[in-house]
Structure 1
Amino acid sequence: MYNQKTWRHVFKLDPNKTLTDEQLNHVCQSGTDAIVVGGTDHVTLDGVLDLLSHIRRFTVPCVLEVSTLDAVTPGFDYYHIPMVLNSQEKKWMMDIQHNAIKEYGHMLNWQELVAEGYVIMNEESKAYQLANCQLPDYDDVIAYAQMAEHLFRLPLFYLEYSGKYGDPELVKRVKAELSHTQFVYGGGITTLKQAEEMAALADTIVVGNSLYTDFDQAIETVAIKHNE
């Protein structure tokens, strides 16, 4: 299996959004370390399968971020299981995951499942609203990071600004708390300069929305891998 610890740059594709075949080819051949397939609303099995069939023509690792059981399918290298730490409802932390294991546990390759502690920071995002999140302050986020590393020993901690560029000072402080848990930052990265700033602070950056708003600039963010 691929070593996710070495991933510095990841593109995220939304099954509910559209890129041309040529653009998808470009994403897959861009030099990014991996491609994550995931979204918040209208994530269907057909949409996931369509992206999977395209990505699998190339050698880039691909991950399904599981947001709905209806869209789970074999064929991905890894399956990321979000646990929304700042949700006000227990189901987003444990119950949905329990239902998934109950239904699919007998057929799962446990080595492919990766739990990620998720903290969603954008009150206006669909993910924040769907998971009924509470906006954390600095101390809350630091505590969530400490929980992810020391209490739950999660492989991934994902600070997600979901379309909005985040606070570099907070990202820096979170990174200082994490020695074993891989720190993933996502949100609002649209330029190479922003990618470089966050990549200097987090282990892995995720570029997603900008693929659909300014494709060429989004592709340029892969250059962080060559500039290091």
Structure 2
Amino acid sequence: MKPDYTAWRHVFKLDPDKSIDDAALEQVCRSGTDAVVVGGSSGITYDNTAELLARVRAYEVACALELSDAEAAVPGFDLYLLPVVLNTPDGDWITGLHQKALRHYADRLDWERIVPEGYVILNPRSMAARVSGARKPADAGDLRAFALLADRIFRMPIFYVEYSGAWGDMAWVREAKAGLNEARLFYGGGIRTPEQAEEAAAAADTIVVGNLIYENLPLALATVPGKRKRIETRDNEWYR
């Protein structure tokens, strides 16, 4: 059965190009998160994507593929999230690569499971920005205009605000969300504490936690709603 992504509040994002052992993967998949999204900006192949999907499939959690490379379009995911980078002058990341992929793969797609995302990348130092040529919006008003573009013009069901490893400006996120009628706002970037997870969840519809899984798994698990508790690390203590 196709999962209802509109009900997702918390998502863990796993990168096929990064290592995660079986014990850590089990904790992620059994954490109570609403879904696991598989995706990354580089090093994504059919083989490492298929391998990660097979491991996640041992658990009941919903699993989606963020499809940034058509050659890694592995069958068997519950959903396929298709990013369209709105803040780049490079048309390949808006329509070019998508058109080429559809020429070869359209007949194989389950269109009921394809969900387009209007993507705005706000960390110019990130790999995603360097690869796509994304340009950071000048201010919150610019970001809101991109939200309107995704929601009102392109009718995309997801508007994704991606800070890609850096903690974002929640005032900007709230401004973008205020411009949406139908689209759901996903926020990803720099969530490294339960407090930041709460703040981002208050500004966005869905939060995405990725890098923290590989940096500090206990803290990552503590970002799941309803699972927040005292987390001790070498240098810090967080209480939830």
1:192–1:224 Cα contact (<8 Å) kept? no
Q: Distance between the aligned counterparts of 1:66 and 1:3, measured in 2? A: 18
1:31 equivalenced with 2:7 (yes/no): no
Of the structure 1 ranges 42-51 and 25-34, higher mean CA displacement relative to structure 2 is found in 42-51
Q: Distance between the aligned counterparts of 1:195 and 1:218, measured in 2? A: 9
Match of 1:157 among 153, 156, 159: 159
Q: Distance between the aligned counterparts of 2:127 and 2:158, measured in 1? A: 22
Per the alignment, residue 104 of structure 2 pairs with 103
Per the alignment, residue 56 of structure 1 pairs with 57
Per the alignment, residue 219 of structure 1 pairs with 221
Q: Distance between the aligned counterparts of 1:226 and 1:8, measured in 2? A: 14
1:16–1:39 Cα contact (<8 Å) kept? yes
1:181 equivalenced with 2:183 (yes/no): yes
Q: Distance between the aligned counterparts of 2:225 and 2:9, measured in 1? A: 11
Normalised to the residue count of structure 2, the TM-score between the two structures is: 0.92
In structure 2, relative to structure 1, the CA distance for the partners of 1:192 and 1:97 (3 Å cut) is: same
Matched to 1:120, the amino acid is I
Matched to 2:6, the amino acid is K
1:148 equivalenced with 2:150 (yes/no): yes
Runs of 5+ consecutive residues of structure 1 not aligned to the other structure? none
TM superposition shift of 1:225: 7.4
TM superposition shift of 1:50: 1.2
Q: Distance between the aligned counterparts of 1:106 and 1:199, measured in 2? A: 37
Q: Which portions of structure 1, spanning 4 or more consecutive aligned residues, are displaced by more than 6 angstroms? A: none
TM superposition shift of 1:226: 7.8
Per the alignment, residue 128 of structure 1 pairs with 129
Runs of 5+ consecutive residues of structure 2 not aligned to the other structure? 230-240
Normalised to the residue count of structure 1, the TM-score between the two structures is: 0.97
2:13–2:208 Cα contact (<8 Å) kept? yes
Q: Secondary structure at the match of 2:203?
A: coil
Q: Distance between the aligned counterparts of 1:68 and 1:207, measured in 2? A: 21
Structure with higher helix content = 1
Matched to 1:50, the amino acid is E
Q: Distance between the aligned counterparts of 2:190 and 2:97, measured in 1? A: 27
Give me the CA root mean square deviation.
1.3
Matched-pair identity in %: 45
In structure 2, relative to structure 1, the CA distance for the partners of 1:219 and 1:226 (3 Å cut) is: closer
Matched to 1:74, the amino acid is P
Q: Secondary structure at the match of 1:116?
A: strand
